[in-house]
Structure 1
Amino acid sequence: MNTQTDQSVITPEHVAIVGGGVIGCGWAVRSLAAGARVTVFDTDVATAERRLKQAIDIAWPSMEKRGLAATADNTAWRVTDDLADALAGADLVQENVPERTALKQHVLAEIDALVPKDVLIGSSTSGIKPSELAEQATRAPGRIVVAHPFNPVYLLPLVEIVGNTATDEATIEQARAHYRGLGMKPLVVRAEIEGHIADRLMEALWREALHLVNDGVATTEEIDAAVVYGAGLRWSLMGTFLTFHMAGGEQGMRHMLEQFGPALKLPWTKLEAPELTDTLIERVVAGCEHQAAGRTVAQLEDRRDAFLTDLLNLVERYWPESEGLAGRI
């Protein structure tokens, strides 16, 4: 796939969400805020309705602060247990069923058989390759792409787009345009790989964090503090490579690699995850409960969303669309 820049935007009028869990509800809220109407398919209608209403109640104040489309309507949704009904008239389908390859293949093949060939089908999978996802689709498998978001979907703008072996460039551009229309930053992944880009990076940090807890080096709170007050602040603006580029002084990355490159061979990190023993599990759980300090998940979500709203506004102030990668996604 080439990396040409196409800044076209298409706001879907009707988004079909397949699977009404946390990620599905996040997609629904983002779609509503962008002015689309939403139909959610879920086998448990009552639970999905309750979950989505709760998600809207929690998220909508943040969406208002971020800016709503003129046609945004947080009541323009419904839930059904009839897949064909949910998909009828949709111009974007987002699949969010549990992360099991066989299940996703089956559901995506059903969707492929039911919607017109020009309708894009995105999968929220965090790790499965799109060619695997499309294996059972026979009608138009090339329009099945990975469209991997990040929680909370309604606030975090990154969506990783990965095409399968039958996906052409026009479909990739269609995906970019649709997800831009939902206010997202689509990042096209150049090749199929398990875990795509962002999750592979987060998994590496997660493994190392578990080792530090397991070996008694640090608590969960201390590790989180190391990220929040150190690297995390820089990553919010610069990411990993530009951060290290600046560490090289006036000569940038070249000097950084010459000076610190040899340290990469030192056995500081552990590539394999530690065994999840009962002891490690209890340390992690106890640490997280201590950090939560009696606050419910809903209270933590409110705090997180308020912070992310302010942070996104700040990031956009310092990283405008015309600069760097922001001009390409």
Structure 2
Amino acid sequence: MPFTPSTTPEAVRRVACIGAGVIGGGWVAHFLARGYDVTAWDPAADAEDKLRRLVSAAWPALEQLGLADGASPDRLTVAPTLAEAVADADFVQESAPEKLELKRALLAELAAAARPGVVIASSTSGYPMTDMQTTAADPSRLIVGHPFNPPYLIPLVEVVGGTHTDAAAVAWASRFYDVAGKSVITMDRELPGFIANRLQEALWREALHMVANGEATVEDIDASITEGPGLRWAFMGPCLTFALAGGEGGMAHMLDHFGPSLKSPWTRLEAPELDSALRDAMVDGCASAAGDRTYADLVAERDQGVIDVLRATGRLPRADRAGAPDPAVPGQRPHTPGSAAR
């Protein structure tokens, strides 16, 4: 059946959060900080106490990020039943444990209980919505809204529907998350694990291989990211970072120069064939991402970004206190030449 929204994304006033564990509780804190009324439900006997402690612990960080007008932990209500939790909700965020049959049953129950036209999002970290919406009477409004832990601090949410999801519901949810202060990726198609988790998983599996084979220690692996590419990924991502490795020739030169290394045994993953279609997709994608920024602009942005990250994490002194520890960074040591490198 076609999806007809009950309200606009901008008009949402009450959000229901179903499941109040680490992820669900993080969503609760985020929505409260954005000025929404939040109703939560979780079947655990001690769920309310744990939830309110989580919100209280998160609130100082949320105050630093900046609260919306009227934001308050007092706008949280914990309902005794699922039906009561969603009765007046304009949007529903489900964050139950990652068990497929549980998700199916819960989403079917939510689709039956929530008001018509209310989007229901799942925080699943890997299941396609197509696999979860099979028993729902109205699957058209069921979408994935995949956050990252903690949801009140990490901006990203990946949005995608299933085979029986109405495209209008996906568009509505993406707009709502945007209004609610998230950074949204609206996926064109379903992909197990979505985008960011697949990238994380590739890195994680290679790390496990290296430890298992005695090729690197856990400390080596973590330092290789925090002291290396992680500094650049924080603001530029792997594709534009690699494009800069091609100099003024950009991604095209990088692929032409380093493309043969895809056949080298640098990872246990099998590399795709670097044919003309893939090459063009990468080159065009980087050009689109760069927009009007020149190579010099991107280099300056990268360099300043790395400096900002190093300084923010206490590995460089503040500009106004060069050589002295920053009192705002706990445990920071005085800067000495070479102390930021390994």
The number of residue pairs the alignment matches comes to 266
Superposed CA deviations along residues 262-318 of structure 1, whole A, max 9, x for unmatched, are: 11111221139xxxxxxxxxxxxxxxxxxxxxxxxxxxxxxxxxx9xx68xxxxxxx
CA distance in 1, matches of 2:103, 2:210: 35
Superposed CA deviations along residues 36-80 of structure 1, whole A, max 9, x for unmatched, are: 1111111114x2122212212221111111111101011211223
Q: Secondary structure at the match of 1:93?
A: strand
Aligned 8 A contact 2:91 2:118 in 1? yes
CA distance in 1, matches of 2:11, 2:199: 30
Residue 190 of structure 2 is aligned to residue 192 of structure 1: yes
CA distance in 2, matches of 1:63, 1:143: 30
* 1:129 counterpart residue number: 128
Question: What are the ranges of 5 or more consecutive residues in structure 2 without an aligned counterpart?
Answer: 1-7, 271-308, 314-342
* 1:228 counterpart residue number: 226
Superposed CA deviations along residues 214-240 of structure 1, whole A, max 9, x for unmatched, are: 111222122111101111010011101
Aligned 8 A contact 2:87 2:115 in 1? no
CA distance in 2, matches of 1:207, 1:11: 43
Aligned 8 A contact 1:127 1:194 in 2? yes
Question: Which structure has the bigger radius of gyration?
Answer: 2
Residue 177 of structure 2 is aligned to residue 179 of structure 1: yes
* 2:63 counterpart residue number: 64
CA distance in 1, matches of 2:101, 2:11: 31
The alpha carbon displacement at 1:117 in A equals 2.2
Residue 110 of structure 2 is aligned to residue 111 of structure 1: yes
What TM-score, normalized by structure 2, do the two folds share?
Answer: 0.75
Q: Percent identity over the alignment?
A: 48
CA distance in 1, matches of 2:114, 2:219: 48
Higher share of residues assigned helix:
1
Q: Structure 1 residues 33 and 142, CA, compared in 2 at 3 Å: closer, same or farther?
A: same
Aligned 8 A contact 1:11 1:181 in 2? no
CA distance in 1, matches of 2:154, 2:79: 27
Aligned 8 A contact 2:79 2:85 in 1? yes
Question: What are the ranges of 5 or more consecutive residues in structure 1 without an aligned counterpart?
Answer: 1-7, 273-306, 312-329
CA distance in 2, matches of 1:60, 1:34: 12
* 1:299 counterpart residue number: none
Aligned 8 A contact 2:143 2:159 in 1? yes
* 1:243 counterpart residue number: 241
CA distance in 2, matches of 1:173, 1:219: 44
Q: CA RMSD in A?
A: 1.7
CA distance in 2, matches of 1:60, 1:199: 27
CA distance in 2, matches of 1:166, 1:197: 21
* 1:275 counterpart residue number: none
Aligned 8 A contact 2:18 2:93 in 1? yes
Superposed CA deviations along residues 127-152 of structure 1, whole A, max 9, x for unmatched, are: 111111111111x2111000000001
The alpha carbon displacement at 1:9 in A equals 5.5
Q: Choose from 260, 267, 271 the match for 1:269.
A: 267
Bigger relative CO (Cα 8 Å, ≥ 6 apart): 1
* 1:21 counterpart residue number: 21
CA distance in 2, matches of 1:82, 1:206: 39
Q: Secondary structure at the match of 2:17?
A: strand
Aligned 8 A contact 2:92 2:120 in 1? yes
* 1:286 counterpart residue number: none
* Over 4 Å off, 4+ runs: none
* 1:207 counterpart residue number: 205
The alpha carbon displacement at 1:166 in A equals 2.5
Which moves more between the two structures, 195-204 or 164-173?
A: 164-173
Matches within 5 A, 1:1-329: 10=10, 12-45=12-45, 47-138=46-137, 140-271=138-269
